[in-house]
Amino acid sequence: MPRTAAQNEAIRDKRKDKIINKTLKLFATKGFDDITIDDISKVSNCAHGLFYHYFDVKEDLYNATITTYEIKYQAKLLKFDEVEKIGGIDAIRMIVEFYNNIMKENDFLVCYSRLALTKAGMTRTAIKALSGVDFAKELPSIIKKGQEEGSIKKGNPTDLARLLIAILNSETELRLVLGIADYKPLDTNFILSQFEAK
């Protein structure tokens, strides 16, 4: 008996979801620009041509991936407007604690959160796909405000923001590459000591 249109649609959705789920880690660890359609085909175990049956271009897959996980994990994501309200070293603490807590979550949430950190290295199309705040652009102003209040050490706010992003980026990458579910990230207080005014 031939499949119904609904059965065919369910199979199509299942295959598309498989491609999305398998490529999230690839986007998070390798970066948007360094991924080829061949990479996507290999990791998702689908033929090169089958990829184009579901997505016109790599950006479409990226958009679908981000949308899928943004909806799935919306309640667990860092609320940057709350970080801005807190300000100063407490804002840095909130960001570090958020990422340290993420390390205890499943790989999908770690991957999604890592994408938020790596937006600066993505193409414009990919950046538009990831909603929320661009840390690389917003973090220096929070650091500068903390410097003015006296809670964050002096220095170029952009350099300090890049340092924090590099630390968090490295931690999420280690968690994913090592594949250790109970990975222990750097101590929050140790990270904060790199930023606190003395």
> How many C-beta neighbours within 10 Å does residue 77 have?
17
Residue position matching structure tokens 């031939």: 2
Helix (H, G, I), strand (E, B) or coil at 197: coil
Selection from 78, 74, 76 nearest residue 93 by Cα:
78
**Whole-prediction pTM value?**
0.76
In contact, 168 and 95? CB cutoff 8 Å: yes
Q: Tell me how far the alpha carbon of residue 131 is from its chain's centroid.
A: 11
Domain extents in the chain: 5-73, 75-193
At the topology level of CATH, where does 5-73 sit?
Answer: Arc Repressor Mutant, subunit A (1.10.10)
38 vs 177: CA distance, rounded Å: 21
pLDDT band at 132 (very low <50, low <70, confident <90, very high): low
Range with top average pLDDT, 13-17, 25-29, 113-117, 130-134:
13-17
pLDDT of 126 higher than 70:
no
In contact, 71 and 131? CB cutoff 8 Å: no
Residues 6 or more apart from 114 whose CB is under 8 A from it? Answer: 28, 29, 169, 172, 173, 176
